[in-house]
Structures are given as structure tokens and as C-alpha cells.
A and B are shown apart, each in its own frame.
Chain A
Amino acid sequence: DAGVIQSPRHEVTEMGQEVTLRCKPISGHDYLFWYRQTMMRGLELLIYFNNNVPIDDSGMPEDRFSAKMPNASFSTLKIQPSEPRDSAVYFCASSLARLRTGGGEQFFGPGTRLTVL
């Protein structure tokens, strides 16, 4: 398997622009997670999906952030409008249901480094 795939790997945009980050989870995984990582705040969970349904979006910082998972193999995280404080590395991760593995470990993508000028 190719692992979790994210695109783009790097994104530079100007304040006010719309940004869309993309993720393809590992085939067959039940869960998909979006994280944000910054030096100041560390690793933060933004939202997660189970079987394409959003379960917990309490980590989404503002209404400017939205996430969708239209099917089992694709998810997007959108920021509109973007602001400089959104600059961070955004990770997507996927996992099998814990009941199926006994562990619940997550597999991370390489991340998208977002810079908002």
C-alpha cells in the first residue's frame, strides 16, 4: 500500500485566499483524522471521520475551517479565507477500528506545509 497520501506537500498563499488540502487514506481504513502542528501549539486534532461521517469537529478552530469526506478514499480540509496564523503543517492520518486491531494505531501522511503571507 502507498500509505496515506496528501497533496499538495507545500502551499504558499496570500491572506484571504481559499486553501484546499487533500488526503487519500489507506484503503480499507475506517477512520480519518486531520491534525495541525505548530511550534507553539504542538499537534492538535482538528476533526475526525468514521466511515466518512464527521464524528468530532470540536478541534476546528473557526468557521473558516471546514472538512469533508465524500467517499472512503478522499477527504478535504478547506480554509476560507486563510489568515497568516493558519500557517502550519497539516497532517492527515487514517486507522482501522480498534476493535479490529486491538490497538487503534494511526498512520500519518507526510503533511502539507501551509504558509499564508
Chain B
Amino acid sequence: GNSVTQMEGPVTLSEEAFLTINCTYTATGYPSLFWYVQYPGEGLQLLLKATKADDKGSNKGFEATYRKETTSFHLEKGSVQVSDSAVYFCALPAGAGNMLTFGGGTRLMVKP
């Protein structure tokens, strides 16, 4: 079945630093790909998505490009802020129904 692997954290950066969180996937066909973010004490919320190969999803300064050649969907941001401190999850459909398979999550800590 479909699966996703993302880099382990925590990732600690200074404010305004460049962020990359790696995500690679294994899937049948070309499913949609997602990044979710979980802020402290809250539920997961969709950050961005890409529905087909070569699509770029973007939101709140974050970007991720669906690359079928490398089966990757890396999350990037040019200049992180303290408010970006959260846990980030890469996800894709699990096959049956509307299930999603989530990566293990990457905790990002941004210091002022």
C-alpha cells in the first residue's frame, strides 16, 4: 500500500532561517499529497496540497512541489518565524475509502 517517510526531528532553526522538511512517498499511481501542521494544543490542519505531478502547493509562505521523478514532496519556507513552531506531517491517501497515511511528524522549533 501507499506509504510516506519524512525526516525525523526535532528541527531547530533561528528566526528568518530557511526551512526544508523532507518527505518521500511510495504509491500506486499519482495520488494527491498533503502537508498538515499541528500547533501546540490543537488538531492537525491542512497546510497545503498538490493533486498531480509537478503541481506546487503553497500557503502561509510554505511551498511543496509534487516530484514524481524523485517521489518526493519536500516542504520549504524561505524565512521561518517563531510562530511556525509546530509539528508538520506529510500525508497521502492510503488506498481504500478516504483514509490517509501520515508520516511520523517533524517537530520544528524556531528560536528568536
B43, B51, B97: which contacts A109 (Cβ < 8 A)?
Answer: B43
Q: Is B42 engaged at the interface, CB distance under 8 Å to the other chain?
A: yes
Q: Is A12 engaged at the interface, CB distance under 8 Å to the other chain?
A: no
Count how many chain B residues have C-beta atoms less than 8 Å from C-beta atoms of the other chain: 20
Q: Which residues of B sit under 8 angstroms from A110, Cβ to Cβ?
A: 42-43
Q: Which residues of B sit under 8 angstroms from A33, Cβ to Cβ?
A: 99
Q: Which residues of B sit under 8 angstroms from A48, Cβ to Cβ?
A: 97-99
The stretch of B20-28, B74-82, B100-108 that contacts the partner chain:
B100-108
Beyond the given A43-B102, A48-B98, A106-B44, could you list 16 further A-B residue pairs with CB under 8 A, ordered by the A residue number?
A4-B43, A43-B89, A45-B99, A50-B97, A56-B97, A56-B99, A93-B44, A95-B98, A98-B98, A103-B34, A105-B46, A105-B100, A107-B46, A108-B44, A110-B42, A111-B43
15 intermolecular pairs with C-beta atoms under 8 Å apart: A31-B97, A42-B104, A42-B105, A48-B97, A55-B97, A93-B43, A97-B98, A98-B98, A104-B98, A104-B100, A105-B34, A105-B46, A105-B100, A108-B43, A110-B42
